[in-house]
Every structure is written in structure tokens, then in C-alpha cells.
Structure 1
């Protein structure tokens, strides 16, 4: 089995495409026909599957820094496309949830009167007020979710940049370590050569001293022989 970063990315990407396709089919088909609690349960199941999709995207992001530099740009673009497809499904889920809550508010209010702006029916006006308040609250919550999602995406980008920087620093450290190892080997060789030169120098000194001693002894013998003669 090929466990290279590119192969793992491809496998994650295939799994994500199948999951997103399945979720779109549910949202465009079964969920649209459901109402009330059944629709809520179906949306809950889709949300759980979206958590799995986010996990797959996280795994894909982890593989990119390990790829050769020449391939990263292409896979980063594919990752961005995959994120966009998941974001569309997430937005569709939020819209359906908001629609479900509006329907529940309408059902709880007993529906609209023929003239929703009339003040003749206090209950209708009250229902309209509650519905507007609920709609505004949903809109605010949706904006908060969008902001949170945007911050999460920015955090992911920062994390990916940090991983790339750490990988680059690790490569620099490994290169420095290799250079130091080579320098250490060169120093060892130089030290060995220096020891040999010192040893030869001592040998030469000993030989030179022996020659001088012999010459001095010969001179003494010559002088001694002349004195005796």
C-alpha cells in the first residue's frame, strides 16, 4: 500500500467527495420532504457527517507540508476546492434549520392573518412580532456562525503556515547537522595527520641527536689518538 503524502491525500479526497455527494443527495432529496422533528433529526445526522468531513480536511492539510515543494500548490488548490464544497453543504444545513424554525414559529402562531399589518387582530400582530424577533435572532446567530467559521478557516491557514515553517526549519537543522558531521570528520582526519607529523618530527630529532653523538664521539677518539701519538 502506498503511504506517500500524495497517495494519502488522494484517498482522503476520494472519501470526502463521496461523503459530500451523499450529503447533498440527502439535503436535496429526503430532508426537503420532511417537516418538524423528522427534519431536525435528519439535519442532525447531516451535521454529524459534516464533522467527519471536517476531520478528513484536517488530515488532508497535514499531508501537504510533507509533499515535494513542486507539488504543493496544486494540492493546496484542490484542498481549497474541497473546503468550498463542504462550506456549501454547511450553509445549506444552516438555511434548512432556519427555515424549519420559521415554520415552527408560524405553526405556533396559528398562521398569518389575511392582512399581516393590521392591528385589528392582536394575536396575529403578536405572532408577527415573535416571528420577526425569531427571524432576527436566527440571522444574528447565522452571522455569528459565519464569523466563527471564518476565524476557524483563518486559524487553519495560520496552522498550515506554522507547519510549513517548522518543516523548513527542520530541514535547515538537518542540513546544519550534516555539515557539522562532515566538519567533525575533517577535523579528525587533520588531527590524525598532525599526530603523524609530530611523531615523525620526534623520530627525526632522535636520529639527528644520535648522529651528533656519534660525530662527537669520533672527534674525541681522533683527538685522543693524536694526543697519544
Structure 2
């Protein structure tokens, strides 16, 4: 198993390219010549594949955070290229949806805005409103999926920030414990120095007393000799 820091990114990118190839085939290849229900079914599959491609790009953006800074710009450029390709096919998909809706509308009119019949319970204006409503619902669904993707990215970023804050809190606690240990060591050193100073003064006092006694003894001896 490849344990390099770019392995997962490369895997997601490969999946993205495979999905994009399938989308390209449906929108620009043989699938672009389909008509009617076949075309609608192909466009629905394209919508699902676009969502999968979006998810792959999101995973690539997550994985790039673990790639070393020295090579990260190259992978960021590849993500930008993938996003540009995805945006182009999303736009093409919307255009083909609109074309399919217009084709349905024109076919329902039969060239002259025919009224509703028992075989076609909706008139041309009602059908146009239904198609417009369907387009709005599809657009709303895409927006909702995009919002969900952004929410997931935000949640992941929030989790990263939370992990970073937890690590910083642990560092602060360790630093505080270190400072407390240093403070205790300083207190002990201060107490030791005070004891040494006290002993030094005691020794000086004792030394001074001894010197005074010696001077008195010497003086007494000299005085005794002078009296003889």
C-alpha cells in the first residue's frame, strides 16, 4: 500500500478524471445525439456524476492539507484545473437541460400552441409553467447539494481548528507546568541562599567574638607583664 503523502490525493484525482470522462461522453460524445427520454435519462445520470465529481474535488481539497508545503503549489494548480473542468461541464449540463426543456415545449405546441386534449391534459402555457417549475426545483436541488458540500467542508475545517486549539491548549498547560516547576526551583534556591547568608553572618559574628577575646587576652597578658 502506497503510504506517500500524495497517494490519496492521486487516487481521488484518478476517480475524478474517470467520472469526468463519463460526463464528457454523455455531453459531448455519442450521448449528445440522443433525443427524448433517452436524453433526459442521460442528463439525470450526468447530474449524479457531477455530484460525485464535486465530492472528489472536496476530498482532494481535504487531502492537500497533508501534502508538504514544498510540493503543494503543484497540487493546488491541479485542483484549480479540475474545478475549471467541472464548472465547464456543469454549465454545459445546464444548457442541455434548457435545450431539452425547450424541445419538450415546442413539441407540445406542435407548431401552433395546441389546446389541451384528453391525451395531453395540459395546455402549452401550463406545460411551460410546469417545465419552469421543474427547472427551478432542479436548480434548488443543486444549490442544496452545494450548500451541503460547503457545510461538510466547513465542518471539516472547524474540526481542524478545534484540533489545533486543543494542541495549543496542551502546549500552554505544559508551559504553565514548566513555569510552576521553575518557580518552585527558584523558591528552593532562594531559601538555600538565605540559609547560606544567615550562616555567613553567624560565622562572622563568632569570628569577631573570637578576635575580641584574643585581643583582650593579649592585652591582659601584656598588662600583667608590665606590672611585674
- TM-score higher than 0.5 here? yes
TM-fit CA distance, 1:116: 0.8
204-213 or 22-31, which moves further after superposition? 22-31
Counterpart for residue 207 of structure 1 = 203
Match for 2:126 among 112, 127, 130?
130
Could you tell me how far 1:219 is from its partner in structure 2? 3.9
Alignment of 1:59-70 (within 5 A): 59-67=59-67
User: 1:69–1:171: structure 2 CA closer, same or farther, 3 Å change rule?
Assistant: farther
Match of 2:78 in 1: 78
Q: Give 1:12's aligned residue.
A: 12
In 1, distance between residues paired with 2:167 and 2:131? 54
Tell whether the 8 Å contact from 2:105 to 2:124 is kept in structure 1 after alignment. Answer: no
Q: How does 1:91-102 map to 2 (within 5 A)?
A: 91-96=91-96
The TM-score, its normalising length taken from structure 1, stands at 0.60
Instruction: List gaps (5 residues or longer) in structure 1.
Output: none
The CA distance in 1 between the partners of 2:51 and 2:113, in whole Å, is 43
Alpha-carbon displacement from aligned partner over 1:115-164 (angstroms, at most 9, x marks no partner) = 4157xx66499642233223332443455456557766876887798789
* SS at 2:87 equivalent: helix
Residue 116 of structure 1 aligns to a residue whose secondary structure is coil
TM-score by length of 2: 0.60
Query: Which position in structure 2 is the counterpart of 1:53?
Result: 53
- Native 8 Å contact 1:64 1:75 kept in 2: yes
Matched residue of 2:80: which SS? helix
Aligned residues: 221
C-alpha spacing 1:3/1:92, structure 2 compared with 1 (3 Å): same
Would the alpha carbon gap of residues 8 and 193 (structure 1) be closer, same or farther in structure 2, given more than 3 Å must change? farther
C-alpha distance in 1 between matches for 2:156 and 2:69: 14
- Structure 2: tracts of 5 or more residues without a match: none
Instruction: Show the counterpart of 1:29.
Output: 30
Instruction: Work out the CA distance in 2 between the residues paired with 1:174 and 1:54.
Output: 36
Flag the structure with more relative contact order, 1 or 2, with Cα contacts below 8 A and sequence separation at least 6: 1
CA distance in 2: counterparts of 1:29 and 1:197, whole angstroms = 92
For residues 144-203 of structure 1, the C-alpha deviation after alignment (integer angstroms, 9 at most, x for no partner) is 456557766876887798789779878987887897788778767766764554454234
**How far is 1:43 from its partner?**
4.7
